Amino acid sequence: MNRFMKVSSVLALALVATAATAQAQSANINVTANVFQALTVVGNSNLDFGNVFPGVNKTIGVTDAGAGKYSVTVGQAGANVNLSFTLPADLVGPGAALLPVGSWTGHWAATDVTSGGTTFVPGPGNEAATLSGTGLLFVYIGAQVTPAAAQAAGAYTAVATMTVAYF
């Protein structure tokens, strides 16, 4: 075998060895999730305007005795939640008479108080709130009714719904 052939053989062996040395590489990421305590929301007290007189507007504020109250009684400690409301435009009375209601007001806090927390305007949009260190939240609402001068006498009612969701 001449010198040239010897060199060729050595080079071929080196090329084969190089092609066989590709090694696996790897990299990790984590998959994470946080399961929060399921929420329990309670309607504690009705928004009660009491006696209303024709042609005389009446307002119940969040600090008044007739304010409506909701509470989150079970939730993830310290979690962020969105509050949203489905509110009536009218209370419905005798013979389908309508009593307009509006000018909604709201207050939420991690403790059962009606001041010193966060005031807001209840509505269909999200109001961000934070549960207490024990997963609680207290929400009060008020509004104003505007009876007409010829408003039919009788009892009027409607439903106001609060929805709470983690975000």
Partner 1 sequence: MNRAPPLVLALLALSVVPVQGQTSVSGVRDLAFGALPVGITTIILPTDPIKSGQWNMTSPVRSRVFFRLTLPSQLNGPGGATMPVDFRNGDAFILEVAAGAQPEYFNPGGNVNHRFTGSNQAIIRLGGRATPAPGQRSGAYSNTVVLTISNIQ
Residue 1 engages partner 1 in binding (rule: CB under 8 A): no
What Cα–Cα distance (Å) separates residue 147 from each residue in 52, 54, 57?
8, 5, 6
Q: Give the residue, chosen from 1, 6, 19, 84, that forms a contact with partner 1 under the rule CB under 8 A.
A: 19
| Binding piece for partner 1, criterion CB under 8 A, among 10-18, 40-48, 86-94, 153-161 | 10-18
Residues 102-141: x where in contact with partner 1 by CB under 8 A, - otherwise, as a string:
----------------------------------------
Residue 76 engages partner 1 in binding (rule: CB under 8 A): yes
Three-state SS for 98? strand
In terms of CB distance, is 22 or 155 closer to partner 1? 22
Residue 10 engages partner 1 in binding (rule: CB under 8 A): no
Residue 8 engages partner 1 in binding (rule: CB under 8 A): yes
Phi, psi of 128 (to 5 degrees): -75, 135
Phi, psi of 35 (to 5 degrees): -90, 120
Spatial CA neighbour of 98 closest among 53, 156, 139, 137: 156
Residue 32 engages partner 1 in binding (rule: CB under 8 A): yes
Task: Provide the 8-state DSSP code for 90.
Answer: E
Spatial CA neighbour of 39 closest among 70, 73, 84: 73
Q: Which CB contacts under 8 angstroms, 24+ apart, belong to 24-29?
A: none
Residue 15 engages partner 1 in binding (rule: CB under 8 A): yes
How many amino acids of this chain bind partner 1 (CB under 8 A)?
Answer: 31
Q: Give the residue, chosen from 1, 21, 50, 65, that forms a contact with partner 1 under the rule CB under 8 A.
A: 21
Determine the straight-line distance between the first and last CA of the chain, rounded to whole angstroms: 79
The pair of three-digit structure tokens given for residue 67, joined into one six-digit string: 């304010």
Q: Give the residue, chosen from 1, 38, 89, 150, that forms a contact with partner 1 under the rule CB under 8 A.
A: 38
Contact positions toward partner 1, by CB under 8 A? 2, 4, 7-8, 11, 15, 18-19, 21-38, 76, 79, 165-167
